[in-house]
Structure 1
Amino acid sequence: MKYSLRIVGICVVLLALLGSCKQKAKTVGGVDRSTIFVVDESFKPIVDQELYIFGALYKDGHPKVIYAPENNAVNLLFSDSVRVLIIAREMNAEENKALASKNIKPIVNRFAIDAVTLIVNQASNDTTITLSEIKKMLNGNTKTDKDIVFDNPNSGLVRYLKELSGNKDLKQKNIYSLKSNKEVIKYVSEHPNAIGITGFSWLNDPEKDYADAVNKVKIVSVKDDISKNGSGQYFSPSQQTIALKQYPLTRNLYILNFTGKMGLGMEFAAFIAGDQGQRIILKSGLLPDEIPGREINIVSKIKQ
């Protein structure tokens, strides 16, 4: 009898330990990892707006948000620290294979289209550039004394520029990476000989701490002189030119949910893809994945 009780006691302790380990595996720093969102810091302005309204409408809609460069965000996923990513790409074949080995399948939703934007100082005479000139500039194949600056070297924006140029390094002597989009805008506002590359959302309705810098820069129009569908015209980024596929430097924004269950990640994905979330995107200056409809009430007056 004593032996049986001892066995039961041991089983209870083991079950408790297993339960503790299981719970620990689901949390990071005591926080449920499914409620931690890691967001590419390039999209902070628009995601902040979405989260603010989401939190106001939903009582429990307050995830813990980590802003990080894209590479760091993906590394957090594979280190089992987070389950929700907001970045400018889907998982590649190698990453999907690694996730499949763990029986993890993401639910992917595109919620907006951003414009990769070139900016110069207001004093600069540069107002236009072609895609081929951008590629040459990034590959160091053109004579220029201009400094080319962009955000963190681990960001999704830098990945985009590497793919655009076919250059895996971007280590030319006049190309510099800073720490953030804000720093890029501030640098260009103070240096007439600089070209900055940033996300469009940082230039529309800027925060007070860098609004003055935005007023001291201007956006460069871009012409697609490479693809067969190029119109031969220069276009500035806007919702219209993005929607009509006239502005050539665009990237999709995605929310990737790896939780595999209903919860905060699913709720936020539904919100950001829904009517209210898409209206916030529309107001921000980016292009929503789906243009919200407009209701028009027609009232007819019958003459007596």
Structure 2
Amino acid sequence: MNNLIKIGIGIGLISLAACSSSPPPDNPTHGKINITADESLEPMVESIYKAYEGVYPNAKFNVVYKPEQEAITTMLRDSARLVFSTRELNDNEKSVFAKNKIKYKSEFIATDGIALIVGRENPDSLITMAELNDIFQGRIKNWEQLKRGSQKGPIVLVFDNNNSSNLNFALKQFKVSDLSRIKIFTVKSNKQVIEYVRKNPTALGFIGVNWISDGDSPLAAELSKNLRVMGVSEDASPDSIDDFFQPFQKNLGLKIYPLRRNVYVISREAHSGLGSGLINYIIRDVGGLLIEKSGLWPTKPYNREVFLEKKLN
């Protein structure tokens, strides 16, 4: 009887070992996972994950775009493996992982810019950071109050969402404590910001630059129609137009465009899975080239080797 019990226990232990050693449902090139991202980064994220699926047909990403705070919360609740965001986790968010003894990884992958857009009918295309600060503090309310202002009427600030990275970035950048002093309007997406600005000459829109910066994208070309991208100067009293910068890729890389921000991919993946594969693709493979094509500045540019061959006649 004792021998039978021992044999039974032995079989049970073997079964448990077999279960615990079963492979995870995904690996770096195969499987299906959920990821989420701030909606302002959608064009860049779309190009990256679709290219990865093209290289690895057995890889599938279910992607949901949300306002940044909601996207991060989705990842914290384990409803998404990765999140693309324009900020790192704050102390409260880190404590969620610490409490559950979960290790997370954060990779800085790109430099992004907030593009200030106005309609084609608005002749004003230059603004200083000092003027922007006065707008957000409620001291400047009309276009004609700008030093170079030609447009008349109230300045209407337009953002994509109440919880978006674009709005949170601006409020933090200009230390806004009282929203009642400014004329601010939110819609539901970066696309809707563009549409609203086209139709309203006094609107000043704030969008992620990758929505209009991919020159090969038909969507970006369509969205860019009838818009002006404002030049911004950190100098309170600029001497010439050369002191103003737009969120072009080079200006992001040289850190001379004032309204720039970092882009991160944050992972809660506990094994070397599909999420790890995508992150490695971004930081070690051609993902940097895709970021560059989106108009952002990759943290680790893709190295393209050129071989010159000299032929003797």
Q: TM-score, normalised by structure 2?
A: 0.80
Query: Which residue matches 2:269?
Result: 259
Query: Which residue matches 1:183?
Result: 192
Aligned residue runs from structure 1 range 45-64, under 5 A: 45-64=43-62
1:146 aligned to 136, 155, 158, which one?
A: 155
Greater shift, 208-217 or 232-241, is seen at: 208-217
Q: Does 1:288 align with 2:288?
A: no
Q: Closer, same or farther in 2 for the Cα pair 1:104/1:49, shift >3 Å?
A: same
Per the alignment, in what secondary structure is the counterpart of residue 52 of structure 2?
Answer: helix
Work out whether residues 119 and 201 of structure 2, in 8 Å CA contact, stay in contact via their aligned partners in 1: yes
1:77 aligned to 75, 78, 103, which one?
A: 75
Cα displacement string for residues 153-202 of structure 1 (whole angstroms, at most 9, x for unaligned residues): 11111111111111145344521011100000111111111110111001
Give the counterpart letter for 2:196 in structure 1.
Y
Cα displacement string for residues 197-223 of structure 1 (whole angstroms, at most 9, x for unaligned residues): 111001124865675442111100000
Deviation at 1:238, TM superposition (A): 1.0
Query: Which residue matches 1:30?
Result: none
Q: Closer, same or farther in 2 for the Cα pair 1:189/1:157, shift >3 Å?
A: same
Per the alignment, in what secondary structure is the counterpart of residue 121 of structure 2?
Answer: coil
1:44 aligned to 39, 42, 45, which one?
A: 42
Work out whether residues 186 and 210 of structure 1, in 8 Å CA contact, stay in contact via their aligned partners in 2: no
Query: Which residue matches 2:101?
Result: 103
Q: Closer, same or farther in 2 for the Cα pair 1:98/1:282, shift >3 Å?
A: same
Query: Which residue matches 1:158?
Result: 167
Per the alignment, in what secondary structure is the counterpart of residue 47 of structure 1?
Answer: helix
CA distance in 1, matches of 2:248, 2:218: 22
2:243 aligned to 233, 251, 254, which one?
A: 233
1:201 aligned to 196, 210, 233, which one?
A: 210
Deviation at 1:87, TM superposition (A): 0.8
Cα displacement string for residues 62-85 of structure 1 (whole angstroms, at most 9, x for unaligned residues): 121111111111221233322311
Cα displacement string for residues 65-115 of structure 1 (whole angstroms, at most 9, x for unaligned residues): 111111111221233322311111111122212311211121111111111
Work out whether residues 104 and 268 of structure 2, in 8 Å CA contact, stay in contact via their aligned partners in 1: yes
Query: Which residue matches 1:93?
Result: 91
Per the alignment, in what secondary structure is the counterpart of residue 133 of structure 1?
Answer: helix
Per the alignment, in what secondary structure is the counterpart of residue 179 of structure 1?
Answer: coil
Per the alignment, in what secondary structure is the counterpart of residue 54 of structure 2?
Answer: helix
Q: Closer, same or farther in 2 for the Cα pair 1:136/1:271, shift >3 Å?
A: same
Query: Which residue matches 2:257?
Result: 247
Per the alignment, in what secondary structure is the counterpart of residue 286 of structure 2?
Answer: helix
Aligned residue runs from structure 1 range 126-145, under 5 A: 126-144=124-142, 145=154
Query: Which residue matches 1:221?
Result: 231
Deviation at 1:242, TM superposition (A): 1.1
Give the counterpart letter for 1:166 in structure 2.
K
Cα displacement string for residues 123-171 of structure 1 (whole angstroms, at most 9, x for unaligned residues): 1121111112112212222131121101111111111111111114534
CA distance in 2, matches of 1:299, 1:34: 44
Deviation at 1:225, TM superposition (A): 3.0
CA distance in 2, matches of 1:138, 1:285: 27
Greater shift, 198-207 or 127-136, is seen at: 198-207
Give the counterpart letter for 1:252 in structure 2.
N
Q: Closer, same or farther in 2 for the Cα pair 1:58/1:276, shift >3 Å?
A: same
Q: Count the aligned residue pairs.
A: 277
Matched-pair identity in % = 31
Give the counterpart letter for 2:70 in structure 1.
N
Greater shift, 284-293 or 199-208, is seen at: 199-208
Deviation at 1:279, TM superposition (A): 0.7
Query: Which residue matches 2:239?
Result: none
Q: Which runs of 5+ in 1 are unaligned?
A: 20-25, 28-32, 227-231
CA distance in 2, matches of 1:48, 1:209: 12
Greater shift, 103-112 or 78-87, is seen at: 78-87
Q: CA RMSD in A?
A: 2.8
Q: Which runs of 5+ in 2 are unaligned?
A: 26-30, 143-153, 237-241
Q: Closer, same or farther in 2 for the Cα pair 1:63/1:171, shift >3 Å?
A: farther
